[in-house]
Structures are given as C-alpha cells and as structure tokens.
C-alpha cells in the first residue's frame, strides 16, 4: 500500500552536533493510525514539525503523500498543543474553525463549511461561544474541527489528550477511530497507557526510533524511558499494557 508518510534516515537538531532525531526511519501507510510515544525531549513534536515542513532535516528524505511536506500542507490537518493558542483572544469557536480554511474573507461559504464540520464533531451548539471559555474537551474538538474543515487526508495531532479529563478521553478515542475510516492519523503522546488500546501501530521515539510496529517491544521501550514499562504506563486504573507479552492489554 502507498505510504501516507515516509521518512528515511532523518536526522535533525536545534544546535550543531546535538541530535534530537538521529537516522530515523518512519513509515505510516494510507489509512494508518499511529501513535508516537517516547520520553520528554525524545523528539516527538520535532518529528511532527518535520512532517509538516516547519523544520528542515539535516539529512534524510521526507515525503508526505508522495510530496515534499511543504507542498502537501493543504492536505494535512494539524492539531497543535492547545497551549500554543492565545486563549483570551477575542474569537468565537466558529472563528477558530474557519482558520483552517484557505483564503482570508469571512464568507458565507466559509461559515457554513465550518458549521457543518462542527456539527460532525457534535460542537455546532458552541459556535458562538468565546473560544477561551470552552472546556478542555470542547476546545480540543474545536481544534480538531479546524484541522478537518479543509478535508485533509492526514491528521497530525500533538499531545491531544493532555487537556482532556479521563471521561473525555474515551470519547476522544472513539472519535479518532471514526475519523480513521477516512483519514490517516499520526498522534504524538506521552500517554502510553491510554493510547495503546486504540491505535493500529505504535512507535517509540527517543532520538532514535526505538521500535515501530503493531505492538511495543516493551524491553526496548523500557530502555528508552530508563525505567520499566509498568512505570511508564503509570496511569492506574488505566494500565493497559501487557507486562512482557507484546501486543494487547490486560485491561
């Protein structure tokens, strides 16, 4: 099957000589649903930015939908970490969703496209609300709507579960599974425990690609984190990783 995302031998750093990513190969097939986990500072967000064409790798090649990332931009939906937005900014939820469309004018067509995407995500009723007064879960849906409104083929999410309470997370993963029927999804998260039950493949990144497949090589992951996977998936009662049997969970 054609690759939606393909990185070969990618190395990158912010300072000369200090690698954040080293010789990373990473492949996501069309229709895939991949979670990238890894310790803080392991290069997860950097990997996303390289896929978005925001950062140029030192070495290696990057292709998204068979194109250089900067040329595939309009076919990628990006959900950045919520903390990047200015929350007291005077915009409504509808304004936020419209930001995902090309063009500059607030036309009727843009508004109705935004509204129908919000309807699909069950937040049409919030369209007039101030974006800053939405709850964590509502805001996250608005940001996902902003990424989806331009009908992307790939959805890239940076720590999407960070601002959502545990009940919200369950419905978030249901939403992702539903979206995955039409869109390839790559999600960066530190939340190993919750994510592993939902995705199709899981990658562990700690400067180098420690493992990537349908299951986690738990010992390799444990080395990457510098502690046992039991400790990594600390979220009791959400511990869903098997001890050392590879795929699946014992939830």
Partner 1 sequence: MIDALTRYEFLQNAVAAVLLGAAACGIVGSLLFVNRLSSLAGGISHTVFGGLGFSLLARVHPLIGAASASLIASLALGWMSARKRERADAAVAAVWSVGMSLGLVFVSLAPGYKGDLMGYLFGSVLAITREDLALTALVSLASAVFLAFQYRRILAVSFDPEFSRARGISSGLLFGAFLCLTGLTVVVLMRSVGLVMVIALLSIPPATARMLTHRLPGMVVLSSVISALSGLAGIAVSWWLDLPAGASIVLCAGALFALVTASVRLLRSTAPVG
Binding site for partner 1 (CB under 8 A): 52-54, 70, 73-74, 76, 78, 80, 84-86, 89-92, 95-96, 98-106, 110, 130-133, 146
The Cα–Cα gap between 33 and 69 comes to 19
**Sheet harboring 33-37: ordered strands across?**
76-79, 154-158, 184-188, 33-37, 201-206, 208-213
What is the nearest approach in angstroms of partner 1 to the Cβ of residue 75? 11
Neighbours of 16 (CB within 10 A): 6
What is the nearest approach in angstroms of partner 1 to the Cβ of residue 128? 9
Please tell me whether residue 180 adopts helix, strand or coil conformation: coil
Q: 102 or 237: whose CB is closer to partner 1? A: 102
What is the nearest approach in angstroms of partner 1 to the Cβ of residue 86? 6
Residue whose C-alpha is closest to residue 241's, from 173, 194, 185: 194
Q: How far is CA 27 from the centre of its chain?
A: 15
Q: 74 or 234: whose CB is closer to partner 1? A: 74
Q: 49 or 198: whose CB is closer to partner 1? A: 49
Q: 17 or 103: whose CB is closer to partner 1? A: 103
What is the nearest approach in angstroms of partner 1 to the Cβ of residue 74? 7
Residue whose C-alpha is closest to residue 154's, from 5, 48, 53, 18: 5
Q: 130 or 223: whose CB is closer to partner 1? A: 130
What is the nearest approach in angstroms of partner 1 to the Cβ of residue 96? 7
């Amino acid at each position: 099957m054609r690759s939606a995302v393909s990185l070969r031998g990618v190395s990158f750093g912010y300072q000369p000589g200090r690698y954040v990513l080293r010789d990373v190969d990473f492949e996501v097939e069309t229709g895939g649903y991949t979670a990238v986990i890894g310790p803080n500072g392991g290069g997860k967000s950097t990997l996303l930015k390289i896929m978005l064409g925001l950062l140029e790798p030192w070495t290696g090649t990057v292709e998204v939908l068979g194109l250089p990332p900067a040329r595939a931009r309009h076919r990628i939906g990006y959900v950045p970490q919520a903390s990047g937005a200015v929350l007291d900014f005077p915009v409504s939820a509808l304004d936020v969703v419209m930001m995902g469309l090309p063009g500059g004018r607030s036309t009727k067509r843009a508004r109705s496209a935004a509204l129908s995407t919000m309807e699909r995500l069950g937040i049409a009723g919030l369209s007039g609300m101030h974006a800053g007064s939405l709850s964590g879960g509502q805001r996250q849906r608005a940001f996902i709507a902003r990424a989806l409104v331009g009908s992307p083929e790939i959805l890239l999410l940076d720590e999407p579960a960070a601002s959502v309470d545990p009940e919200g997370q369950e419905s978030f993963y249901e939403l992702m599974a539903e979206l995955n029927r039409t869109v390839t999804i790559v999600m960066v998260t530190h939340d190993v425990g919750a994510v592993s039950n939902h995705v199709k493949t899981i990658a562990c990144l700690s400067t180098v690609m420690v493992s990537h497949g349908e299951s986690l090589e738990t010992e390799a992951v444990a080395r990457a984190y510098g502690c046992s996977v039991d400790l990594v998936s600390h979220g009791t009662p959400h511990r869903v990783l098997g001890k050392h049997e590879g795929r699946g969970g014992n939830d």
